[in-house]
Amino acid sequence: MNKREFLKKSALLTLGGVAASNIIAKASIISNPVDVKLSGNASGMTTNPSILLPGSGEPKEYTLPELPYAYNALEPHIDAMTMEIHHDKHHAAYTKNFNAAIKDAGIADMDIMDIFKNVSKYPAGVKNNGGGYYNHMLFWNAMSPNGGGMPKEMLMKEIEKSFGTFDSFKEKFSTAAATRFGSGWAWLVYSDGKLVVTSTPNQDNPLMDIAEVKGHPLLLIDVWEHAYYLKYQNRRPDYIAAFWNVINWDWVMENYHRAMGM
């Protein structure tokens, strides 16, 4: 981190909670098609410069976002050990390797959304680690200890419009997650004015130019074995079934509103 960056970050960190939240809210609109709440601490502060300094033109140093809840908060559905290793080891590694990859590729000053839009032009490390960094940031927010149940009125209507019933959406999403061969993700995205279920291999996401179905992510599930193997071993469908108990529908709704506004 150079001196100027350090001073800029320090200045942001010393702002009061309310003012800082506003900055974060404004900045995240610019840099994120989905509403990402990064912070797990009481004041709602974040230290993630990718959110605070979108498109600043200065080299970015991405930092591992804190989990928005304790490791054991999603039990019994997702166990504490899985959450700890998944966040502290896997997500940390993607974050570290993404920083190295964009530096090597000479694109450390580029907005992450612009990187995704042109990801096929860059070395595979940019795609794999950039997706790993970003997808996991979404994934922590897609779950909540107060999650589960059903989406609220407006989103529910949209789901029924696109899939017939909530149950048929649930089946479609679960099937996409269960049948994604090897490692990857299943997604609910807003694409061309409608909701679509899709899946991606590895750490690809629907914001990337290589995605089969492109759109704004509303909901996602990690189906890499590291996301479930400690508790569920080879029983991926059991993990997927448990995921429905922790889905943060308020966050999905916020993403839907954001996607509609774009």
Q: Which residues bind Mn ion (CB under 5 A)?
A: 222, 224
Residue 181 or 193: the one with the smaller Cβ distance to Mn ion is 181
In sequence order, the 6+-apart residues with CB closer than 8 A to the CB of 85 are 226, 230
Residue 190 or 224: the one with the smaller Cβ distance to Mn ion is 224
Q: Which residue is nearest to Mn ion (CB)?
A: 222
In sequence order, the 6+-apart residues with CB closer than 8 A to the CB of 97 are 125, 129, 132
Residue 37 or 86: the one with the smaller Cβ distance to Mn ion is 86
Min. distance of Cβ 183 from Mn ion in angstroms? 8
User: At 138, is the secondary structure helix, strand, or coil?
Assistant: helix
Min. distance of Cβ 93 from Mn ion in angstroms? 10
| Dihedral class, residue 165 (left if φ above 0, else alpha if ψ from -120 to 50, else beta) | beta
Residue 82 or 191: the one with the smaller Cβ distance to Mn ion is 82
Helices (H), 32-64: 49-52
Min. distance of Cβ 223 from Mn ion in angstroms? 9
CA distance 42 to 153: 30
Min. distance of Cβ 82 from Mn ion in angstroms? 10
